[in-house]
Amino acid sequence: MNAYRECRYTSQDGLSLYYREYGAPDAPGTPLLCLAGLTRNSRDFHGLALRLCHNRRILCPDYRGRGRSDYDPNSDNYQPATYLNDIRHLLAITGIDQVVVVGTSLGGLLAMAMGAAMPTVLHGVVLNDVGPEIGGEGLARIISYIGTDRPHHDWASAAKDLATMFPHLSLDSDAAWESAARATWQEGDDGLLHFDWDTRIAEPLAKGAPLPDLWALYDSLGNLPLMAIRGALSDILSADTLTQMADRHPGLAQVTVAGAGHVPTLNESDVTGPLDAFVATL
C-alpha cells in the first residue's frame, strides 16, 4: 500500500493541480498543510509526512507551475494572491476548515498571508527559514538561478550541480543528494533532466513588484501557536530577524539547525524532536 495518495483538483481558472495526501481523511488530529518553497514541490515533505501521518491527514500540494501541477499559460499568475486562491480552493474541495501549516520559505510567507486573508483556517504555523525580513543577498541568489534551466544527462551530474547550488543543505550522503536532485529535476521528452518547475516563475519577480508589509502579515498570526526554524547559515532568515520575531510573539518556539543554510530539510536531528512535539500539541 502506498504511503500517500496522488490527487488532483481543478483550479478556479481551469488548471489541473496536484497534491499528495497522507494519513486517513478521518484521522483525529488537526490536518497538516505543507507549503513548499518557491521552486519546490510536495516531495520535499515526504519524510515529515511519514513521521506525522499516523494520526492526522496531511496535504502536500504542488503549486501551479511546479512538480506535477499544470504550468500556467500566463506567467503573471505566478504570484502569492493566485497561490492563496489555489490553497483556498484545495481546502474547500477536501472539506478541511482548519489546518496547521508547515511553510518552507515561500510557503511560510503564504502561511503568514493566510493569517490576514483567512485567519479562521489557521490552528498553528511552522515557519521554516523565513520571516518578515528577507535577506537581500539570499533573495538575489534565488532569483539568479530559477529563471534559467540547467539540464543534465544523468542523476549523478544533477546531484553534483545541486551541491554546487546549495552547498549548505544538510545532506550527508550521495544517496541523499541524489534523492534531493530527483525532487529538483525531471526527465524531459529529450531524455535530459530539466528543472521541475516552469522557469517563467522568475518573470513576476524580475518586474520588481514591491513586497507587502511582511511584519503586518507576521503580526496577523496573533496568538496562534507558532514555531520558527532557522538554518544557522541561512542567508534568508537572519538571527537578528528571528530575535525580533520572538520579541513580537513571546510564545514563539524556536529551533536553529547547526550547519544548515537555506533551507533545513525538516529531517535533521536538531529539528525532528521539537517539530514533531510541537505539531503533536495541535
Following DSSP, what letter does each residue of 48-114 receive, concatenated?
A: HHHHHTTSEEEEEEPPTTBTTSPPPS-GGG-SHHHHHHHHHHHHHHHT---EEEEEETHHHHHHHHH
pLDDT of residue 143: 81
100, 123 Cβ separation under 8 angstroms: yes
195 SS3 class: strand
What is the reported pTM? 0.96
pLDDT of residue 145: 83
pLDDT of residue 212: 85
Mean pLDDT, range 124-145, rounded to an integer: 88
Mean pLDDT, range 9-21, rounded to an integer: 97
Dihedral through CA 198, CA 204, CA 208, CA 211, nearest 10? -100
Which residue would you say has higher pLDDT here, 9 or 138? Answer: 9
Mean pLDDT, range 129-153, rounded to an integer: 87
Mean pLDDT, range 82-107, rounded to an integer: 97
39, 195 Cβ separation under 8 angstroms: yes
DSSP 120: G
**Confidence class for position 1, pLDDT limits 50, 70, 90:** low
C-alpha cell at position 63 = 503549486
CA dist 206 and 214 (Å) reads 19
CA atoms 101, 88, 10, 27: torsion sign: positive
pLDDT of residue 135: 77
pLDDT of residue 180: 93
Mean pLDDT, range 250-276, rounded to an integer: 94
DSSP 37: -
241 SS3 class: helix
Q: What is the CATH number of domain 5-144+211-280?
A: 3.40.50.1820
127 SS3 class: strand
235 SS3 class: coil
Q: What is the mean pLDDT of the chain?
A: 94
